[in-house]
Amino acid sequence: MVSQFSGVLQLTDLDDFITPSQECVKPVKVEKKQGRSVAKIQIEDDGSYFQVKQDGGKQKLEKAKITLNDCLACSGCITSAESVLITQQSHEEIYRVLRNNKQAGVAEQKVVVVSVSPQSRASLAARYGLSSSEAGRRLTAFFKGLGVHHVFDTSFSRTFSLLESQREFVERFHRKEQDKQALPMLASACPGWICYAEKTHGEFILPYVSSTRSPQQMMGSLVKGFFAGQQGLNPQQIYHVTVMPCYDKKLEASRPDFYLEEADTREVDCVITSGEVVKMLEEEKVLLSDVEPAPLDTMFSSVCGDELLGHAGSGSGGYLHHVFTHAARQLFGEEVKELTYKTLKNKDFQEVTLERDGVVVLRFAATYGFRNIQNLVQKLKRGKSPYHFVEVMACPSGCLNGGGQVKPLPEQNNKELLQQVEDLYKEERPLVPEEDQHVAELYQSWLQSVGEERARELLHTQYHAVDKATNGLLVKW
Amino acid sequence: MNDTVALLQKFNAHPDSRCWYVAWNPKGTLLASCGGDRAIRIWGREGDSWECKTLLQDGHQRTVRKVAWSPCGNYLASASFDATTCIWKKKNDDFECLTVLEGHENEVKCVAWAPSGNLLATCSRDKSVWIWEVDEENENEYECVSVVNSHTQDVKHVVWHPTQELLASCSYDNNVCVYKEEDDDWECRATLEGHTSTVWGLTFDPSGQRLASCSDDCTVKIWKECQPEGGQEGTDVAWKCVCTLSGFHGRTVYDIAWCPLTGALATACGDDGVRVFKEDETADPDQPAFSLSAHVPKAHTQDVNCIAWHPKEAGLLVSCSDNGEIAVWNYQSGV
């Protein structure tokens, strides 16, 4: 089974074994039975295992299950076995929750929220010949038709990520003399990059990684925090789905840091990819272009009339663009109208600089793809990185080219499709994060009201270096 | 067969350990060997025998699997099971470690220099092939140019085309992959399927038109680049297997070398033997035929891991074995 995770994630102990990797060290908790240890194991016709005791009594044996969380918490391996990783996060799960809702009593029903990323929207728009906003309206109608209650847009939560990233950069810049690990600040919205950084470079690299949450997890805070409170719901009563351009986002949603202990629920319950939405449409035997559009939900979406708004900058969130323009203004009083990108070694490695009196005062880069990340980290390790900020993404060409995006049709060319998706994405009119009233209101009403510490928890996160298993017994030959 | 392989010298190169690989420098004045003792030894000729000129002991923390000389002969690269590749610069009789290339997830199985000397390829058990570039101004700055994941298993060997920037790799997944640079990235342009088990070694013929592979399936296959069906511009190249040498080797064929001077093919086998094959003159270029020219059944007392033709002296051949020995041979073709 070929893995669908990003190339960067795949190179960190990823296995292509169909079962959990031989390196799996998760201790399986087995209930010890009293008595003699002699027992027979019988396999039934349906494949289930029964332990036949000496007195003839049969007992069904539990299948050893490894969950996504187990995998993340462990350093043994990451297995690509679909059955293991995707069980808890697939469109099948969503159908199950929606079915339960129909049958369950009011007390057990869940409020189902779907947050769609702009990259997924653009990918679906390309497949069905729609504009991004048209795709957004039809997705709203499609999901609501299945029983979903609200459909939001992660461009909205991304505004929070951009604002926090801007502030974080300025704060790091101010302390760069005292703290040698303040800069370069490395963007953290990409979970493929984060998993790789935690596993391969650990303590060395983590201080440089931005603590700002990704748009997906900002939405997690918004939905299970603010929205839950506002609606008088327990976070557990909300089933939060996100639609993302890659599979790595499923791992991000499963991180223990994004698990609400008290409410015993995850901030994002399920991540499905753009491709999985196509599967859902195909199962419902409907073309997105044939769905009657519905008005967009405005609570957590950046909407203007019936158009969805986006952000300037790259198709991967525009972190470089926004942090640069903000830093230029805050630190050097420069209003940057347009950024000039210089392509370095390859098209996935670009640089932007700000000069003052012939001296470069800000040097930012965008490094996409494993080879560029490698070079960035190696340079950093040798103390030779000239950058103040780097937008790091695991996928070549960024999120618009994520592993979960809709695949080209047989007659389509990969490059052409990607260009189409990029064009559709850029068509969304950009919103300036600092000018977003709705977001400003939430900062005031919600984040300020919970106090600084709680606000920090809601907007930022932490990273954890993973110890490599050095047990010789686990080495594959 | 009136062709012979005569033993010139045999010596223990890596005490109590395997000798994994031997490589002649471009001038043919030095022989580099590496082994399970984590060491690299540089051997120079002293009259009729070979003396150890340099011992590089502390470069790696685990077995050194392969060594490769740069085309100019001034640098040596070593690939190790410790997941690193070391670049050494020759300074008279000594070698200085310039830089250590990190990045592979686990054991590096091979390293090879491109004919230009500017690019380096490495491959690993992590299933990837990496292409590195030397910085023009700074000889100890290497940057990763591409990481290609075309194999689904451990990649055993990488080899460059003798004159073009074309790379080939082979793997435990039974396939050979051929790579070319497209835009700013390296891509696998052809997957050569045919072997029924791990492919351990690869070698290009002197012109670079053909590629020979050797495998755990006990055969050697000769591949030739041909026009793809339809003959369109810019489509993936196609390589066809034009010859299979089977029934000659009793066990896994671990290494293969095509002599740049004579066109003879030498193999290193798990049955402890060294064999030399000659191409039949009369054969159709698209259907070459090779015959066994000479065979040393017990060249070593254990598996022969590597075989290498001298770059300047026709017929001079070197092999090394799991028993830590290096053997130097003289191949004479009766014809």
Residue of A nearest to B146 (CA): A371
Please say if the pLDDT value at position A7 is more than 80: no
Please say if the pLDDT value at position A67 is more than 70: no
Please say if the pLDDT value at position B173 is more than 60: yes
In the predicted model, what is the mean pLDDT of chain A?
86
Please say if the pLDDT value at position A318 is more than 50: yes
Please state the rounded mean pLDDT for residues A324-342: 96
Q: Write down the ipTM of this complex.
A: 0.87
**A79 vs chain B: nearest CA distance in angstroms?**
14
Tens digit of pLDDT for each residue in A191-216?
999 989 998 888 999 999 999 999 99
Please say if the pLDDT value at position B104 is more than 70: yes
Please state the rounded mean pLDDT for residues A180-189: 97
Confidence of residue A35 (pLDDT cuts 50, 70, 90): low
Residue of B nearest to A378 (CA): B102
- DSSP, residue by residue, A240-291: EEEEES-SHHHHHHT-GGGEETTTTEESS-EEEEHHHHHHHHHHTT--GGGS
Is the CB of B126 less than 8 angstroms away from the CB of A11? yes
Asked if B146 has any chain A CB less than 8 Å from its own CB, the reply is yes
Please say if the pLDDT value at position B172 is more than 90: yes
Tens digit of pLDDT for each residue in A367-404?
999 999 999 999 999 999 999 999 999 999 999 999 99
Please say if the pLDDT value at position A102 is more than 80: yes
Please say if the pLDDT value at position A240 is more than 50: yes
Q: What is the pTM of this model?
A: 0.85
**What is residue B206's predicted lDDT score, i.e. its pLDDT?**
95
Confidence of residue A21 (pLDDT cuts 50, 70, 90): very low
**A200 vs chain B: nearest CA distance in angstroms?**
9
Task: Residue B24: name the closest of B52, B44, B54 by CA.
Answer: B44
Please say if the pLDDT value at position A28 is more than 90: no
**A375 vs chain B: nearest CA distance in angstroms?**
6
In the predicted model, what is the mean pLDDT of chain B?
94
Asked if A11 has any chain B CB less than 8 Å from its own CB, the reply is yes
Is residue B70 within 8 Å of residue B77, measured between CB atoms? yes
Confidence of residue A475 (pLDDT cuts 50, 70, 90): very low
Please state the rounded mean pLDDT for residues B286-298: 94
Residue of B nearest to A200 (CA): B105
Whole-number Å distance between alpha carbons of B70 and B114: 8
The share of chain B scoring above pLDDT 90, in percent, equals: 86
Q: Which amino acid, residue A203?
A: E
Please say if the pLDDT value at position B213 is more than 60: yes
Confidence of residue A33 (pLDDT cuts 50, 70, 90): low
- Residue A93 is given by DSSP the state H
**What is residue B217's predicted lDDT score, i.e. its pLDDT?**
97
Please state the rounded mean pLDDT for residues A224-247: 95
- Chosen for mutation from A6, A9, A10, A11 (greatest number of chain B CBs closer than 10 Å) is A11
Tens digit of pLDDT for each residue in A400-446?
999 999 999 999 999 999 999 999 999 999 999 999 999 999 998 88
**Facing residue for B184 by CB, picked from A10, A16, A346:** A346
Both ends of chain B: CA-CA distance in Å?
10
Asked if B143 has any chain A CB less than 8 Å from its own CB, the reply is yes
Count Cβ atoms within 10 A of the Cβ of residue A212 and give its class: 0-12 exposed, 13-18 middle, 19 or more buried. buried
Task: Output the six-digit token pair for B160.
Answer: 């460059």
Asked if B85 has any chain A CB less than 8 Å from its own CB, the reply is no
Please state the rounded mean pLDDT for residues A248-256: 90
**What is residue B194's predicted lDDT score, i.e. its pLDDT?**
97
Place of tokens 């969380």: A69
Confidence of residue A22 (pLDDT cuts 50, 70, 90): very low
Please say if the pLDDT value at position A465 is more than 70: yes
Confidence of residue A51 (pLDDT cuts 50, 70, 90): confident
Is the CB of A371 less than 8 angstroms away from the CB of B183? no
Strand partners, A351: A342, A365
Q: From start to end of A120-181, where are the E strands?
A: 150-153
Whole-number Å distance between alpha carbons of B179 and B187: 5
Q: Beta strand pairing status for B210-215 and B220-226?
A: antiparallel
Whole-number Å distance between alpha carbons of B49 and A386: 52
**What is residue B72's predicted lDDT score, i.e. its pLDDT?**
95
Please say if the pLDDT value at position B328 is more than 90: yes
Count Cβ atoms within 10 A of the Cβ of residue B30 and give its class: 0-12 exposed, 13-18 middle, 19 or more buried. buried
The share of chain A scoring above pLDDT 70, in percent, equals: 83
* Structure-model confidence comparison of residues A4 and B15, the more confident one: B15
Please state the rounded mean pLDDT for residues B26-31: 96
SS (H, E, C) A398-412: CHHHCCCCCCCCCCC
- Chosen for mutation from B129, B151, B185 (greatest number of chain A CBs closer than 10 Å) is B185
Confidence of residue B226 (pLDDT cuts 50, 70, 90): confident
- Chosen for mutation from B61, B63, B147 (greatest number of chain A CBs closer than 10 Å) is B147
Please say if the pLDDT value at position A62 is more than 70: no
Count Cβ atoms within 10 A of the Cβ of residue B239 and give its class: 0-12 exposed, 13-18 middle, 19 or more buried. buried
Confidence of residue A295 (pLDDT cuts 50, 70, 90): very high
Please say if the pLDDT value at position B302 is more than 70: yes
Is residue A158 within 8 Å of residue A218, measured between CB atoms? yes
**Facing residue for B147 by CB, picked from A12, A200, A370:** A370
Tens digit of pLDDT for each residue in B118-139?
999 999 999 999 999 998 888 8
**What is residue A40's predicted lDDT score, i.e. its pLDDT?**
74
Please state the rounded mean pLDDT for residues A151-162: 97
**What is residue B137's predicted lDDT score, i.e. its pLDDT?**
84
The share of chain B scoring above pLDDT 70, in percent, equals: 97
Whole-number Å distance between alpha carbons of A339 and B80: 44
Strand partners, B240: B224
Lowest mean pLDDT among A17-26, A170-179, A426-435, B66-75: A17-26
**What is residue B223's predicted lDDT score, i.e. its pLDDT?**
97
Please say if the pLDDT value at position A29 is more than 50: no
Asked if B136 has any chain A CB less than 8 Å from its own CB, the reply is no
Please state the rounded mean pLDDT for residues A318-339: 96
Residue of B nearest to A13 (CA): B105
Residue of B nearest to A344 (CA): B184
Task: Residue B62: name the closest of B126, B123, B98, B18 by CA.
Answer: B18
**What is residue A71's predicted lDDT score, i.e. its pLDDT?**
55
Rg (CA), chain B: 19
Is the CB of A11 less than 8 angstroms away from the CB of B146? no
Please say if the pLDDT value at position A3 is more than 90: no
Please state the rounded mean pLDDT for residues A174-187: 96
Please state the rounded mean pLDDT for residues B236-258: 94
**What is residue B136's predicted lDDT score, i.e. its pLDDT?**
82
- Residue B273 is given by DSSP the state -
Is residue A102 within 8 Å of residue A147, measured between CB atoms? yes
Tens digit of pLDDT for each residue in A116-128?
999 999 999 999 9
Whole-number Å distance between alpha carbons of A366 and A396: 11
**Facing residue for A346 by CB, picked from B126, B128, B185:** B185
**Facing residue for A11 by CB, picked from B102, B105, B146:** B105
Is residue B107 within 8 Å of residue B113, measured between CB atoms? no
Is the CB of A16 less than 8 angstroms away from the CB of B102? no
Whole-number Å distance between alpha carbons of B30 and A112: 72
Place of tokens 């009339």: A305
Asked if B61 has any chain A CB less than 8 Å from its own CB, the reply is no
Rg (CA), chain A: 24
**What is residue A106's predicted lDDT score, i.e. its pLDDT?**
83
Confidence of residue A25 (pLDDT cuts 50, 70, 90): very low
Name, in order, each residue with C-beta under 8 angstroms of B30's C-beta and a sequence gap of 6 or more. B24, B42, B43, B44, B53
